[in-house]
Structure 1
Amino acid sequence: MADTINHGATEVANPRYSVNQRSMLLIGLFFLSISAFFFIYTPAKISENSSAYIRLTTIKPEFILQDTGFLLYYGGWLILATLLVMGLYSLFLAYKGERPRSFDKKITRAMGYSIVLGFILMISGKFVAQMYWSNTFEQAGYVECENSFGMTQSWSTKVWAFNAESCRTPFDQDAIRQKQAEIAVVPES
């Protein structure tokens, strides 16, 4: 409900609108919890996969299954920051009980631009990380198998082998994943 302010002979509507404080509190907590989870999970996942791939290239198993889905995390920091700002702004609205219209438009526009830019950074970060890991695997002597999807039934998995002939032989991807997990966890003696 808009209040009116008397400025001489004319009345001007106050540009503030009430909000449901309970809803804003829940939305704010939701965005904060998602951003907190991913602020912790993203660096941990990048570190875990990076150290596993470096370790695998030094041990040199016959196959390396590369999870390309996690590469989106390399450029996703801006979206995480936007989720954090959205959560904080929702908590601010829950505290105030009303939203100032002029500030609301500015912050909404800034969040919209940062989400679009964040998706661009996620995609470009994925390509840069993929180029890095492809180069790392090729320098270790691996070749990328042409039919990775046919071999793994997964769009986000690339198969790397020591030679192209190995790519044509059937293999048990679950056993390879298990072996990679063991190699990545157990330190070299």
Structure 2
Amino acid sequence: MQLLLALDEFREEQSIVGQLLMAYGEFEFNIAKLIAHAIGNEDNGARIFFRIHGEGPRLDVADAIVRPFFERMNLVGQWTNAFGALRYCKDVRNQYAHCQWYSDESTPLTFANLERDAAAPEGILNVQLYPVDLDLLQKQREYFEYANDWLHFLDCRCRKAMGQEAPDAPVPKSIPQPPKHNRPKKPQPPPEACTTPKGEPVES
């Protein structure tokens, strides 16, 4: 039986989602390399990072280890930019790794996260749908490339600081963070009218 029937008519979108999922694994490998630079031990850098379960906890532990190291190297601002980009990529990776896809002639390519929606213990299962399109996925891929450029930049700086040969990686140019999906945001309620009573007129 054919896999990914909902994505059958969206081959380019299917390819980009696959690229994002595979790229995040490479991000984690490169984060482990930064931990290795920070502690001065390549083998234990990988042991520390990959013994932690869950993408979020891994990022948090990595930040706790490498941030003081980059402060000493005067690179903490660059690491902060990289860390923010990686947290976004983690969220995008997770939403695609744990989703269910849907499409028909009247509905754009859409995914749901039943793992989240099924957390309600009883009552009607309200499934939230999150539309995406090719333009959004291309912007997300570009942002993943931006995050990867930061990891490459920091790795090169670390290697140069240790006297190793490394390319002169440029500082990545900042780009806007795309939305995670195209689901419209809930409109904010209008501010309540001011009901403060007016004060008594002041006699002149």
TM range (shorter): 0.3 to 0.5
Greater per-residue strand proportion: 1
Greater RCO (Cα-Cα under 8 Å, separation 6 or more): 1
TM-score by length of 2: 0.31
> Which has the higher Rg, Structure 1 or Structure 2?
1
Greater per-residue helix proportion: 1
